[in-house]
């Protein structure tokens, strides 16, 4: 791998990494030589991911730390444990998220607040706790996960779309402030990706998806891990405050031309 795309020797926290994009990214980073902190609300699930990394030929090492991103004390404990174990923190990937599909009138106040709390407040907690360490240690990268639901709306997930739209704006705002501390803040907004969550909600799996096929409108977690590694590496050094949208083939209206 070209040196500028490498994350070798760095330490990364990836929230929501018990499965899907987070787990695949953790394995990818470790394969390239990064030490990774695998974290979610399920210790049992993240232990499996960390054990798989540590039992492989990966050059990096993994630890599993249970964390609820909605709880500030839990997030700060996560960052503190990371620094204690690996001596610092170079990359924070705020990937933890949640949603459910429902028409707007069927979403309760509690349901709305829960989705906003996980997706927006969780990102706030992660960015601020990681930023405090990075400012003391000479910089780093923070990558927030949004969604196309936050860039173009979502008919059956307005709560999720609103929270992710706020993450996009938050990324832009924070990047200007943290640039003075050599911390690059960027965002990834995936389209439909064949994760376990998508499988449970929509019945879509990655079994029949060819990642090399151009004409597709559903991706696989490995494609998102590619972009996250780019954003965490020196190859993206001129990208600050940007949101990378990855949603496959555009759906264009028929122009009427033959």
| Total tally of structural domains belonging to the chain | 1
CB 195 within 8 A of CB 221: yes
pLDDT confidence of residue 14:
98
How far is CA 60 from its chain centroid?
A: 19
pLDDT confidence of residue 204:
66
Reported confidence tier of residue 83, pLDDT bands at 50, 70, 90: very high
Reported confidence tier of residue 258, pLDDT bands at 50, 70, 90: very low
Interval 2-55: pLDDT, tens: 799 999 999 999 999 999 999 999 999 999 999 999 999 999 999 999 999 999
pLDDT confidence of residue 255:
46
**If DSSP codes are grouped into helix, strand and coil, which group holds residue 127?**
helix
Mean pLDDT, residues 183-201 taken together? 85
Is 193 contained in some domain? Answer: yes
Indicate the pTM of the whole model. Answer: 0.93
pLDDT confidence of residue 249:
84
Is 258 contained in some domain? Answer: no
- Is pLDDT of 231 > 60? yes
Q: Residue 190 pairs with which residues in a beta bridge?
A: 246
- Is pLDDT of 170 > 60? yes
Is 257 contained in some domain? Answer: no
pLDDT confidence of residue 206:
62
Higher pLDDT, 85 or 215: 85
- Domain with 55 in it: 3-246
Mean pLDDT, residues 70-94 taken together? 98
Mean pLDDT, residues 249-258 taken together? 59
pLDDT confidence of residue 257:
45
DSSP state of 117: I
Please say if 178 is a catalytic residue.
no
**Distances from the Cα of 206 to the Cαs of 29, 46, 111, in angstroms?**
21, 21, 28
Query: Smallest Cα–Cα separation from 26: which of 4, 2, 48?
Result: 48
**If DSSP codes are grouped into helix, strand and coil, which group holds residue 9?**
coil
User: What's 87's domain CATH number?
Assistant: 3.40.50.720
Q: Residue 145 pairs with which residues in a beta bridge?
A: 188
Is 251 contained in some domain? Answer: no
Is 98 contained in some domain? Answer: yes
Is 255 contained in some domain? Answer: no
Is 227 contained in some domain? Answer: yes
Is 91 contained in some domain? Answer: yes
Among residues 156, 160, 178, 238, which one is catalytic?
A: 160
What is the C-alpha radius of gyration for the chain, rounded to an integer number of angstroms?
A: 18
Interval 116-156: pLDDT, tens: 999 999 999 999 999 999 999 999 999 999 999 999 999 99
């Amino acid at each position: 791998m070209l040196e500028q795309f490498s994350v070798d020797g760095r330490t990364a926290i990836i929230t929501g990494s018990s499965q899907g994009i987070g787990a695949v990214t953790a394995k990818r980073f470790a394969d390239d030589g990064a030490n990774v902190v695998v974290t979610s609300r399920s210790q049992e699930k993240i232990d499996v991911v960390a054990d798989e990394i540590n039992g492989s030929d990966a050059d990096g090492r993994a630890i599993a730390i249970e964390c609820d991103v909605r709880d500030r004390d839990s997030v700060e404990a996560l960052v503190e444990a990371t620094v204690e174990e690996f001596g610092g923190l170079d990359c924070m990937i705020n990937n933890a998220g949640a949603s459910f599909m429902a028409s707007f009138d069927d979403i309760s106040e509690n349901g709305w607040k829960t989705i906003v709390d996980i997706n927006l407040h969780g990102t706030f907690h992660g960015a601020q706790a990681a930023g405090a360490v990075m400012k003391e240690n000479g910089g780093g990268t923070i990558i927030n996960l949004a969604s196309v639901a936050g860039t173009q709306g979502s008919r059956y997930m307005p709560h999720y779309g609103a929270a992710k739209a706020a993450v996009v704006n938050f990324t832009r705002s924070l990047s200007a402030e943290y640039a003075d501390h050599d911390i690059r803040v960027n965002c990834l907004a995936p389209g439909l990706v064949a994760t376990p969550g998508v499988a449970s909600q929509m019945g879509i799996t990655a079994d029949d998806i060819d990642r090399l096929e151009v004409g597709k409108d559903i991706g696989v977690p490995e494609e998102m891990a590619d972009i996250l590694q780019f954003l965490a590496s020196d190859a993206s050094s001129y990208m600050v405050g940007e949101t990378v949208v990855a949603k496959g083939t555009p759906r264009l209206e028929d122009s009427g031309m033959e």
